[in-house]
Amino acid sequence: MNRNLLYGAVLVLAVSLLVGSGGFSAVSADRGVGAAVAADERAYLGIQDRTPAEGTVAGEPITLLEVTDNFPADVDLDSVRLTDAQAPIALRSGSLELDPSGDVTATCTAPTDGTETVSIRLRASGAGVEMALNRQIAVDCSPAALDPADITFYGCGKAHVGAPDATLDSGLDVTLVGVNGGGVTETADTVTAADRSTAGPKGKSIGLAVPSEGLVVTNPNYDFDADDCSGAAAGTPAEGIPGDPRDTLDGATSSEE
């Protein structure tokens, strides 16, 4: 066999093993070698789709990808972003440490008509290697039965649930999330049609969760930086914002970077 052809075949095989077989992307090593390659879970940087990813608007996070570092050296995802500004989801993090694997997760921000395809751009780096990957993921986001706007907060105390009576007739179990002395507290309560107000949380209210709906909302009156109620009057309500209370609950989310 021609020696040059043999070397070329070995190089193509080595580069292909970096990110496997799937959607094409780019890879470079510290010697300046660049090539069009593909990605899947069997590669040095394993990418496994969790598709279709199904969730509920303002509900619990959905997993889009599982990424595994199969390199001899540590590799992390430096950047994870959506390439479509109109995507019906928001990523929970703009980067990801792989130890040795990690999940790229998101929350649904708008309902979809069946499944919808979103595009994600990932950049990873480690000792002597950098790579960029483009993946397309199918997502299916259902509308929430209970709208985040149905929940209002009065200062940093009680919350009010404005859902229809039918939703509350049998009692709606909620979890109040607060901060007290630097720690996060969770207080269970049941809201009924007769009394739509929740109990007060232990400490200052930072949000509320409705486990049966997979819904988590943040109290907009609470200032996380100042650990204060931002001067909001106790009698002035503010609508809950989908997401967060600081990732203390399974349904908590964080905004896309």
Task: Please state the separation of Cα 27 from the chain's center in Å.
Answer: 26
Mean pLDDT value of segment 122-128: 85
Average of per-residue pLDDT values in the chain? 75
pLDDT at 172 over 60: yes
The 3-class secondary structure across 80-130, one letter per residue, is EEECCCCCCEEECCCCECCCCEEEEEEEECCCCCCCEEEEEEEEEEECCEE
Q: What is the pLDDT of residues 210-249, one digit of tens each?
A: 887 778 888 988 888 888 886 565 566 788 887 776 654 5
Question: Is the whole-model pTM more than 0.95?
Answer: no
pLDDT mean over 156-179: 83
Average pLDDT over residues 50-71: 85
Domains of the chain are: 3-142 (2.60.40.10), 148-247 (no CATH)
pLDDT grade for 66, boundaries at 50, 70 and 90? very high
* Segment 134-166, tens digit of pLDDT: 999 999 998 776 777 788 888 888 888 887 776
By CB atoms closer than 10 A (0-12, 13-18, 19+), residue 76 is middle
